[in-house]
Amino acid sequence: MRTLIRLVLLSIAVASPASAQFYNAPALQMPVIADREYNFAASNGGRAGTALLFQWREGVAAGWQLSADAGMAAPQGTGVDTRIILGATGVHQLTRADADFPFDIALTGGAGFSAGNADKSTAGPHAANGTVLRIPLGASVGHSFELEQGYHLTAFVHPRLSLDHCSSCNAGASDSKVNVDVDVGANLQLTPQVAVRVAGLIGGSDFLGATNAVAFSVAWTPKGLRK
């Protein structure tokens, strides 16, 4: 367990430019898996522009969760088309906080892509053209605080390594990179069914804009499925 914590802290310390989970937007993954959750998010990431995302998280077995991401992004700049975003993630609950260990930890791994086109005659040198495939692996680590009036606040960090491949970058040639992403966020549970979530991404990739990003979301859990 100590080795895992050291690796998480090392990932944060050496964070270098990278894009987010499947686009330049925070993953918004909590350190505790959900039985079922529908998350509606909006993000902004500089040249990557504004993205609207829908995330569906579903518990499939004890300690396991699957999730799907779908959305669209409008990058900034001339000659750049709207991009579609699709991805899937598996999550395993490694630990739950208790009297001896104060952190919840969920391991994450997934694959996804964003696709669009750029007019090479007018788009900037860092505009993604074609498909950007991402395969991120990481861990969401956090702690929950009980507030007054029944509210709960969860602070979390989510560092991950990602293998990125762009089908048409660097003057039209394909390119691949291994990057590090780090989300820093908080989730405020307003009711057993509704929570608001905010997170910032530290990093940014040349494939998708090379800028940090911030996201805000509203998460809804159907009645009777909250742990």
The domains of the chain are located at 2-192+199-220
Helix (H) or strand (E) segment spanning residue 7: helix 2-13
Which segments of the chain are extended strands (E)?
36-44, 50-61, 64-74, 83-95, 104-116, 130-146, 152-169, 173-189, 194-202, 213-220
Q: Is 153 exposed, middle or buried (0-12, 13-18, 19+ CB in 10 A)?
A: middle
**Arithmetic mean of pLDDT, 5-16:** 36
pLDDT, tens digit (0-9, with 9 covering 90-100), for 154-176: 999 999 998 888 887 666 678 88
**Phi (first) and psi of residue 9, to 5 degrees:** -65, -35
**Phi (first) and psi of residue 47, to 5 degrees:** -60, -25
CB within 8 A of 224, min separation 6: which ones? none
Which of 87, 83, 93 is CA-nearest to residue 67?
Answer: 87
- In the numeric block, which tokens belong to residue 18? 């990278």
Q: Which CATH architecture group holds 2-192+199-220?
A: Beta Barrel (2.40)
pLDDT, tens digit (0-9, with 9 covering 90-100), for 27-48: 999 999 999 999 999 999 877 7
Of 13 and 119, which is predicted with more confidence?
119
* Residues, the chain: 227
Percent of the chain with pLDDT over 70: 76
Res. 183: pLDDT tops 80: yes
pLDDT of residue 13: 34
Alpha carbon distance, N-terminus to C-terminus of the chain: 25
The mean pLDDT of the chain is 82
What residues are paired with 197 via a beta bridge?
A: 187, 217
